[in-house]
Amino acid sequence: MEPTANFLLSDLKKAQPISGWEDFWREGKAFLKTASAAYAQRKKAFTTVILYNIIAMAIEKFVMTALMCQGKLPYNHTMKDLVEAMDEVFPCVMSDIREGLLNLDQYQEICDLDTFNISGPAMEEIPAMLDLASRLQELVEKQLLAGKREK
């Protein structure tokens, strides 16, 4: 086909899944399992900042799994960016957990050196964070990975 300024929408190829999504899925489950066990056992080494970061990694891995399965990637990796990417690719799917995920950004501002800030959540906030991550895992597993199998 000779290049022209005009093309048909049928000329565009559907986005293909990005390889490696299975690794992100496994890693997300492992991060969530680690955070859940550490919280349940109240291990002293797992401060609220560390628990928050492990939970955030689980959430990021679950979002990346869903997006990669659709051949998409987020612009950045703040919770806001991850939620916006999910909203764009899967409209209305995140409605029940959207605000909770967006609120997770309040604990870390590490993208801009001038406003760099890390504040740990209270231990009482960790169960809600674990619940958000679990709900996202379930959402991705039941709604977005339908028809795909782990390798």
In a domain, 80, yes or no: yes
In a domain, 81, yes or no: yes
Mean pLDDT in the chain? 85
The pTM of this model reads 0.83
Q: Distances from the Cα of 70 to the Cαs of 19, 40, 86, 136, in angstroms?
A: 11, 34, 11, 17
In a domain, 2, yes or no: no
In a domain, 75, yes or no: yes
In a domain, 60, yes or no: yes
In a domain, 4, yes or no: no
In a domain, 151, yes or no: no
Instruction: Answer yes or no: are the C-beta atoms of 57 and 136 closer than 8 Å.
Output: no
**Average pLDDT in the 42-46 region?**
92
Q: Which amino acid is at 112?
A: D
Q: Provide the domain count of the chain.
A: 1
In a domain, 6, yes or no: no
Q: 13-22, 90-99, 109-118: which has the highest mean pLDDT?
A: 90-99
- Alpha-carbon gap, residue 145 to 70, rounded angstroms: 10
- Alpha-carbon gap, residue 20 to 72, rounded angstroms: 13
Boundaries of domain holding 67:
21-144
Q: What is the pLDDT of residue 13?
A: 63
**Does the pLDDT at position 151 exceed 50?**
no
**Average pLDDT in the 15-34 region?**
94
What CATH number is given to the structural domain containing 41?
A: 1.20.120.330
